[in-house]
Amino acid sequence: MRPTVHDIAETAGVSLATVDRVLNRRPGVKAATRERVEAAIRKIGFVRDMAAANLAKGRTYPLVFVIPRGSNSFMEGLKFEVEQAIAQSPQERTRITIRDVPRFDGPSLAAALDRLVTDPPAGVAVVAVDHPRVHDAMARLKDAGVTIVTLVSDLPGSPRDHFAGVDNIAAGRTAGSLMGRFLTGRAGKVAIVAGSMLVGDHRDRLEGFRDSIAALNPGLEILPAMEGQDDPDQVFGLVSNCLRGESRLAGIYSLGAGNRGLIRALKDLPPTVSRPVVIAHELTPHTRVALQSGLIDAVLNQDAGHEVRSAIRVLKARADGIAVIEAQERIRIDIFLKDNLP
C-alpha cells in the first residue's frame, strides 16, 4: 500500500495542514519542522506526482529574476530574454517578474532578496554577488521554501539549488589556451580587465586563465586584474593607461563586460604601436564589429536565452518535485573568431 499524507503527518508528528504547506512549498513552516516533514517523506518513501497535481489545479508558478542594472550589453540581453519568457507566461503557466539591483552591490542584492521572504515566490533566479549578507538572505529564502537558481555568476557555498551558466573555470582555461597559442614563442605581459572580483564568474575565469597560460606559455606575465566595474568609461581609462604604461604588453584578456571602453582604447592606439592580442567575452553588437575589424581576436560567448529558459525549467521542476535533466541544462561555451561569426 502506497504511503499517504496521513502517514507523513504521523511519522513527523505534525498536522496534515503542515504537511500540505511543506508539499506545496508554502510559507509558515519553521525550518526545523520542514526538515522533519521532509525526513519523514524520505523515510516512508512517499512519492507525489506534483506535476500532475499542479496541472490539475491550474497552478501558476510565481518566479522572480534578480538582475543587475546598468549599461552592460550582456545583462541587457539577459533581461530581454526574461522579457521574452514573460511574453510566453500564459502557455508556460508562469508569472515572472524582474527585480533590478545595482551591479556588484552585495548589500543591495541581499535587501532585494529579503523583500521576497515576506511573500515568497516558487523560485528565484539571481545573478549572484559573493557577500556575507547575500549568503544570509539566500538562507532565509530557502527557509521560506523558495527554490534558488544562480544565474550567470554562481555562488557554490550558498544554499542555492542549481546554477544556470557556463563552467567559468573552463571558460577561463579556454581563453588562456587561445591566448597561449596566439602568442606562441613570444614573451611579454598580459593585462586582465575584470568587472569585479566580488562575482564568482570573474574569479573563476581568471583562475582558469592563469592555470592555462602557465602551462602553455610560461614566458607570459599575467598583470594584476584591473576592475572596471563593467563600466565602459572606467574600462576605457584603465586600458588606455595600461596601453601607455606597459611597453611589453602582448595581450589583453577582458573577462567581464564594459568592452565598448576596451574597443575605444584600442582604436586610439597610434598606428606605429603594435596591437596586443585581445580576447573578450560575450558576442554583442560591439564585440562583433571589433572581431570583424580585427581589434579583437576571439570572443567566448554564453547563450543568455538558454540560461533563462534553463532557470525556468529547473525552478518549475523543483516546484513539481521532479528530477532535472542535467544534459538539457548544460550551458555550452561558444568560441567565435571573425571567420565563424553567425
Every domain of the chain and the residues it spans: 5-48, 54-165+304-331, 168-301
Angle at 279 between CA 223 and CA 202, to 5 degrees: 60
Q: pLDDT at position 53, please?
A: 55
The H or E element that residue 164 is part of is strand 162-164
Q: What per-residue confidence (pLDDT) applies to 70?
A: 79
pLDDT score recorded for residue 317:
86
Which pTM does this prediction carry? 0.82
Q: Is 168-301 the same fold as 5-48?
A: no
Give the pLDDT of residue 41: 86
* 226 beta partners: 193
The alpha-helical segments, DSSP class H, found in the chain are: 5-12, 16-23, 31-44, 50-56, 73-87, 89-92, 106-117, 132-143, 168-182, 200-216, 232-245, 259-267, 285-293, 304-320
User: Model confidence over 237-295: pLDDT tens digits?
Assistant: 999 999 999 989 999 999 999 999 999 999 999 888 889 999 999 999 999 999 999 99
Residue 168 pLDDT exceeds 70: yes
Place of cell 572596471: 228
Q: Name 60's Cβ contacts closer than 8 Å, sequence gap at least 6.
A: 93, 94, 95
Find the length of the chain.
Answer: 342
Residues with Cβ within 8 Å of 285's Cβ and at least 6 positions away in sequence, in order, are 73
Average pLDDT, the chain: 92
* Architecture in CATH for domain 168-301: 3-Layer(aba) Sandwich (3.40)
pLDDT, one tens digit per residue, over 28-73 is 888 899 899 989 988 888 766 555 555 545 578 899 999 999 778 9
In the predicted structure, residue 322 carries a pLDDT above the cut 80: no
pLDDT tens digits, residue range 126-150? 999 999 999 999 999 999 999 999 9
Between 8 and 51, residue with greater pLDDT: 8
Give the model's pLDDT for residue 56.
47
Would you state the pLDDT for residue 321?
73
Could you tell me which residues come within 8 angstroms of residue 54 by beta carbon, excluding any fewer than 6 positions away? Answer: 319, 320
CATH tag for 54-165+304-331 (out of 3.30.70.20, 3.40.50.2300, 3.30.300.30, 3.40.50.740): 3.40.50.2300
Which CATH code of 1.10.275.10, 3.60.20.10, 3.90.79.10, 1.10.260.40 fits the domain covering 5-48? 1.10.260.40
**Integer-rounded Cα radius of gyration of the chain:** 23
pLDDT over 80 at 331, yes or no: yes
CA distances to 24, 77, 124, 149 from 142, in Å:
14, 28, 10, 11
Cβ-contact 156, 189 below 8 angstroms: no
